[in-house]
Each structure stands twice: as C-alpha cells, then as structure tokens.
Amino acid sequence: MPRRSSGRVTLQDIAERVGVSKVTVSRCLREPQRVSETVRLRVEEAIDVLDYIPNRQAGALSSGRSLSVALLVPSISNSVFSEVQRGVDEGLREAGYQVLMGHTGYSILEEERLIDTFLAYGVDGFVLSSTRHTDYAQRLLNRARLPVVETMELTDNPLDINVGLDQRVAGRAIGEALIAAGYRRIGFCGARLDYRVQQRLAGWEDALKAAGLSTQRCQTTPRPSSYRLGGELLSAMLERWPDMDAVFCCNDDLAAGALFECQRRRLDVPGQLALAGFNGLDITDATWPTLTTVITPRRAIGEQAARLIVERLQGAPRNPSRHDMGFEIALRQST
Amino acid sequence: MPRRSSGRVTLQDIAERVGVSKVTVSRCLREPQRVSETVRLRVEEAIDVLDYIPNRQAGALSSGRSLSVALLVPSISNSVFSEVQRGVDEGLREAGYQVLMGHTGYSILEEERLIDTFLAYGVDGFVLSSTRHTDYAQRLLNRARLPVVETMELTDNPLDINVGLDQRVAGRAIGEALIAAGYRRIGFCGARLDYRVQQRLAGWEDALKAAGLSTQRCQTTPRPSSYRLGGELLSAMLERWPDMDAVFCCNDDLAAGALFECQRRRLDVPGQLALAGFNGLDITDATWPTLTTVITPRRAIGEQAARLIVERLQGAPRNPSRHDMGFEIALRQST
DNA sequence: TGCCGCAATGTTAGCGGTAACGTTTTCGGA
DNA sequence: TCCGAAAACGTTACCGCTAACATTGCGGCA
C-alpha cells in the first residue's frame, strides 16, 4: 500500500512542473551555477508559485549534514548568556548554519540529556557553556567526532576547542583592585556555587591572602542568584561582620541587589561600604551609584566560538586549542 | 556505488546483534508493550552497549512527525520572554516534544524567515510571541495546517489559538490606579514602540481622557529599551514637563532606569515623582523604593500555550480560540 | 484433531532528499 | 569534418526509520 505523502510540496512536484528531474531542481538550490539559466529561472518561478519549502530532514538524512549547531547555556533568563548566544548566532548564521538552543539549568545531567537529544537531531557541532560534563556526555561527544567548543571558562584539557576567560585570575584582579583602592575588610558573597563562581571565589582568596588579609568574610549559598538574594546575603553579612568595608559579589545581580539593600538601610555606597560585581551587565552602568565590576567579553566569546566552529565545519582538522579572551576591570562609583 | 554509511550505530546494528528485525527494535522504543519481554531486555542491553542514539531525522521523515515545536520570541535578552519560554518548555517536554527556539529581534520579517526555516525543519507546531505577522508568514502557517499559538497579546482574529492578556486594558488599569492614587499630571514613556507598547499607550490615554486629564506628557522613541534609556527619557520629560507628578513607563526596564535617574538627581520617589512599570520583573520588587507595576502572567501564558498545543498535537480539532490570562496591578512604594 | 484468534515478529515500500556516476548535448579547434 | 572535453541533465541507490500489511506460532475450545 502506498504511503500517504505528507501533502507538502516536494522537489518532485517542482521537477514535474518544470519538466526536469528532481536532481536538477536540487542542484538549482545547492549549486545554481551548474544549471543552465533558462532552467534555473523556470525552477525558481515554480518554487515561488508552489511555495516550496525544502525538507531539511530529508536533506540532512541524505547528505549527513544538518547545517545546524547546538548551543547549550545554563539559563536563558540570565542575560550573561544572551550576549554569548548573540555572538554565536550571528557568526553561525552568516555561515549558513542554524543554531538550536537548549538550557541546562546549571545541571550537567540535564546537559547530558540535551547532548543526547541534539545528537538525535543530527546537529553538526556543539557550543557548550562550561568545561565540566558527565563522563557519559564526554563519551558521547568524543564518539560523535563533532566539533565542540567549550566556552566561558578555561581548562587545561579541552575536549576540542576552548574559548573563555580565566575566572580565577579575574576574581583575583577584582580583589586586588579593591585592596589597591584601600579596602581591607573585604567580603565575598556568592550564590549558585557553580564551577565559575568557585573559581572567582578562589581568585578573591588569592588576592586577599597575598595581601595578608583575612578571607573569613565569605557568605555563600547554593540558591540561584537574584536581586533579592543579593539583598539577603548582604544583610546576613552585615550582621556577621559589621566592620566589613567592601564586598565582591560573585555576579552583577547580587551586586545590584546588595546595592538596593544598602539604599534601603541608608548605608552610603561607597562611603560606608564598597560594592563590586562581576560580568558587566547593563545594570551596573545604570544604577546610582554605578557599580564597579569585571567586564567579561561575552559577545566576543560567542563570536570567536562561532568562527572556530565554522572553521572546523569547513574542514579544518581537530586541533585542541585554548583561547583566552581576557576581561576588563571597570572601576565605578561604588568603590 | 554504495553510499558510505555515516558510521553511526543504527537500528540495523542493534537488530543484527540481537538477532531480530529492525522493525522489532523500533517497536521496542515506540511501543514496548507490543514486544515480548525477553526480546525487549536484549534489545535494551544492546542499545546500552552500543550507545545507540536514534536518528530523529530519519524517524521524522518516515513518520511525518518530528516531535518538535518552534517557539519564536522577539528577544532572548529580554527576561519578559524567558518566563514564557520556561512555561512552554516545561509543558511540551512533559508531553515528549522538544522546543526549538528562535528570536526575531522584534521584526516580523525576521519572524517570517524563522517560520520558513522551522518549517524546513519539520516542526509540528508554532508558538509565536505576537499576533502580527507578514502576509507571507500567515500564508505559510495556514498552508502548513499546523497548530499555532499566538501569545502575549489578544486579537479578534487568531490564526488558531491565542493566549495572552489585553495590553490596552492593562495600560488603562495602571493609568486609573495612578489617578486613584491622586496623581494628575501623569506622563508616559515608551521605547521600541511595538504593538504591545502602543496598546499600553492607548490604554493610558483611555484612562487619562476618561478622567479629563491631559495626555500630552508622552515621550517615546523607537530605540530599544534599556535601563540607561529609561534615565534618558525621564531626563527629557522632566525638562519638558517640570510639573509632572507621575510617570507610567511602558516596561520595567525603563521604570528602573527612571528610578536610578531620580536617585542620581536626588528626586524623591514617590514624594516628588511617582513611577510605574509594566511586566512585574524581579527587579521591581528589589529596588528601593520598590516599583509599582503590572504583573503579567507570563509563566501561565507559556504553560497554557503548551497545554493547548499539545491537545492539538494529540488530535484535538482546529478551533480558533482566545484565552485571556489577565494581569494584576502591584501597588508598591514608588507610587 | 482441527480451526480460530491473537500475540509476536517479519516484509515491503516508501518518506524527500543527495552522492556518485552515466548519458546526452554543445562547441571549439585540429 | 570529426574528435574530445566540458557543460547540462538524468539514473540509481541509498540515508535511517516507520506505516501498513503479511506471516508465524501457539493456546484454547468445540
């Protein structure tokens, strides 16, 4: 019994209308210069009239290339990653690839699940937002032999390509900047202690220890970061360490929340307490006072990731590499 | 000449290892209860050992269903839509569908391009973030006969399913709330005048006109919304209309930016100027003073959209419908 | 014993494209 | 005029999976 066709317009329909074989129609789309102009024009007209939309699934199945790349980010509501995504998206789209996005909710198990899913969709490559994965995920990625970019942080053992910045060095740099500004009783507050936050914390400790300062003023929680949490953490810290003169918040959300809490308490920033954040989100440059922060090159990371993965997709050989995109300290009114 | 196989493990490999036909293996995955337990266990073991990952493209091509749904949002950096996405994602994943996300950059032309792209990917349905589309996009959607949910705003002529809230009524409600609170010289500031913002503006005018108040204090710009822009718009308004006693900002970003500008100018909020936003983002409940806003049920919209589209995917007949999800005015410290 | 019905599995024929190779047409130059 | 190569187009055989139908085997019952 013949299978009922989907009803969609196919290459065959175009071919019949024009009076050529479907291979010729296919060529018109993929290598138009190899088809005579007369035929090409008639095919284009037919495509237009019939509203033909190529079936990518069929194409991918046949050619083994789906022209799509998976981008996995921890969270979509966190604007840190939306800049990365923009860079990736733009770079890949230019090269003719479609980005398929997934979010892991900061869970490597969920990442594993998504890698599995997107492999089933036949993506041609992966852009990941971390260097830490489950063993099974690593095995899947290695077996698939696809280009993989791990972004955001740096690692000594990249799966393939690694583009990011040294979170620990950045944490240390902001710590040193606070010390240089004259602060001595510097606290750290962190939420959702993922690997990157832990690195920043380690960097902060490096800086304080190197200066002979105490690293005890450290308040952390596994809860997800938010403005309100920034206020809560700050309150807790002020209670435990009333003498604290500066706080490095592990990200800008917490820093902004802490700032709002200071305003609520009529605590002068930076007069009574200095605040610093991390990432350089828009809000840090909009509040009053503006917030000192570490500006991370998220857009550039995304663009670079796209560039490198496109190279690989176009045939460049696998060659593990690490790209340090650096960072920038923005000293603003809050310190 | 035989085509080189992709090297991936296929159903056939599993079948050979177990000693059954590949259809049986396929059935193990899709309708396990129709396969004997002995065979099923052996198949599952083989799948495990060989790290088999089904090829969804092939499955979709053969069955005509891809088990994926496209979700188009205007912007991924705007957290307004990330809540919607979360709702959609959760609901659809539960039902076994994968969400493919795209962002239109607030452009209906880009939306059209994405609809085309995702049709080529064979998605089984669409969730859109607007009720306004290009003619061609509408034609594509109608011809494809797929379930479509238009979200965020309401329309009298839904393409299929419509889930949202009445932006104009919400704009009017916040205007009325400001009037009820005693304000009389109320301004409006808006950025990126998309359809929804225009509706909110119209609602604001409705309220003011109904109360016999002037609607002249209206500052708008097509530029994209941001915290900084909120400050700039407020500055411009204060210059033009120094007597203004309240401002309804078309969204929370602008409202927060305006608040920061007030702090910079040492303008007391709400003493000298009242501020109201729109959407109910986290930040409105974190600033000092907290911001009055219209809380929109974005998560619920996403969940409802998912529920309805799943119904349709599972066979419910096409039946244009409109679902008003309402809104809530949150009167906070800024008014 | 023979027949029926159902559960378990197999066979066949695609889905809509594309790689690889084959055939025909065109055309310039010896 | 004829040859040969390149341009233009066609044929075939899949990619990996599934719908629809076909077959097999077994237990139960008259």
Contacting residues of A for B227, CB less than 8 Å apart = 282-283, 285-287
The footprint of strand C (CB < 7 Å) covers A 2-3, 5-6, 8, 10-12, 22-23, 26, 29-30, 52, 54-55, 58-59, 61-63; B 1, 3-4, 19-24, 27, 34-36, 38-39, 58, 61-62, 64
Q: How far is the CA of B116 from the C1' of C15 (A)?
A: 20
pLDDT at residue B165 in the model: 98
Q: Is A251 at the interface with chain B, CB within 8 A?
A: no
> Token match 């190899």: residue?
A34
Task: Assign a CATH topology to domain A67-165+299-326.
Answer: Rossmann fold (3.40.50)
Which amino acid does the sequence have at A200?
R
Give the mean pLDDT of B69-95. Answer: 94
So where are chain A's domains? 11-54, 67-165+299-326, 167-295
Q: How far is the CA of B31 from the C1' of D23 (A)?
A: 20
pLDDT at residue B1 in the model: 43
- For β-strands A186-191 and A246-249, DSSP reports them as parallel
- Could you give the CA distance from residue B253 to residue B249 in angstroms, rounded to a whole number? 8
Size of interface A-B (CB pairs under 8 A): 116
For A17-51, write each residue's pLDDT tens digit: 999 999 999 999 999 999 999 999 999 999 999 99
What is the three-class DSSP state of B110? helix
Q: How far is the CA of B35 from the C1' of D28 (A)?
A: 22
pLDDT at residue A7 in the model: 79
pLDDT at residue A5 in the model: 67
Question: What are residue B128's phi and psi, to 5 degrees?
Answer: -105, 160
- DSSP states along A245-281: -EEEESSHHHHHHHHHHHHHTT--TTTT-EEE-SB--
- H helices, E strands: number in chain B: 12, 12
Query: Looking at the domain covering B167-295, what would its CATH class be?
Result: alpha beta
pLDDT band at A4, cuts 50/70/90?
A: low
* Nearest C-alpha in B relative to A82: B77
CB A157 within 8 A of CB A295: no
pLDDT band at A315, cuts 50/70/90?
A: confident
* Nearest C-alpha in A relative to B139: A51
Across the interface, whether the CB atoms of A77 and B100 are under 8 A apart is answered no
B212 burial (CB, 10 Å; 0-12 / 13-18 / 19+) is: exposed
Helix axes A227-240, A252-264, angle to 10 degrees: 60
**Residue B2 CB in 7 A reach of strand D:** yes
For B165-210, write each residue's pLDDT tens digit: 999 999 999 999 999 999 999 999 999 999 999 999 999 999 999 9
Residue length of chain A? 335
Q: Which nucleotides of D are covered by protein (CB under 7 A)?
A: 7-21
Across the interface, whether the CB atoms of A6 and B64 are under 8 A apart is answered yes
Q: Suggest the residue from B75, B287, B299, B334 to mutate for an interface test with chain A (most A CBs closer than 10 A).
A: B287
First-to-last C-alpha distance (Å) of chain A: 77
Mean pLDDT for all residues in chain A:
95
- Could you give the CA distance from residue A300 to residue A91 in angstroms, rounded to a whole number? 11
* β-strand partners of B249: B189
Task: Assign a CATH topology to domain B11-54.
Answer: 434 Repressor (Amino-terminal Domain) (1.10.260)
Give the mean pLDDT of B249-260. Answer: 98
Nearest to A64 among B6, B100, B122 (CB): B6
- Decide if pLDDT at B90 tops 80: yes
Across the interface, whether the CB atoms of B57 and A79 are under 8 A apart is answered no
- Decide if pLDDT at A1 tops 50: no
Same fold, A11-54 and A67-165+299-326: no
pTM, entire model? 0.94
CB A104 within 8 A of CB A73: yes
Contacting residues of A for B82, CB less than 8 Å apart = 76-77
pLDDT at residue A77 in the model: 86
Question: Span B67-166+299-326: which CATH code?
Answer: 3.40.50.2300
What proportions of chain A, in percent to the nearest 5, are helix, strand and coil? 45, 15, 35
- Decide if pLDDT at A59 tops 80: yes
- DSSP states along B7-74: S---HHHHHHHHTS-HHHHHHHHH-GGGS-HHHHHHHHHHHHHHT----HHHHHHHHS---EEEEEES
Contacting residues of B for A80, CB less than 8 Å apart = none
CB B262 within 8 A of CB B234: yes
- Decide if pLDDT at B5 tops 80: no
Torsion of CA A7, A10, A14, A17, to 10 degrees: -40
- For β-strands A328-330 and A293-295, DSSP reports them as antiparallel
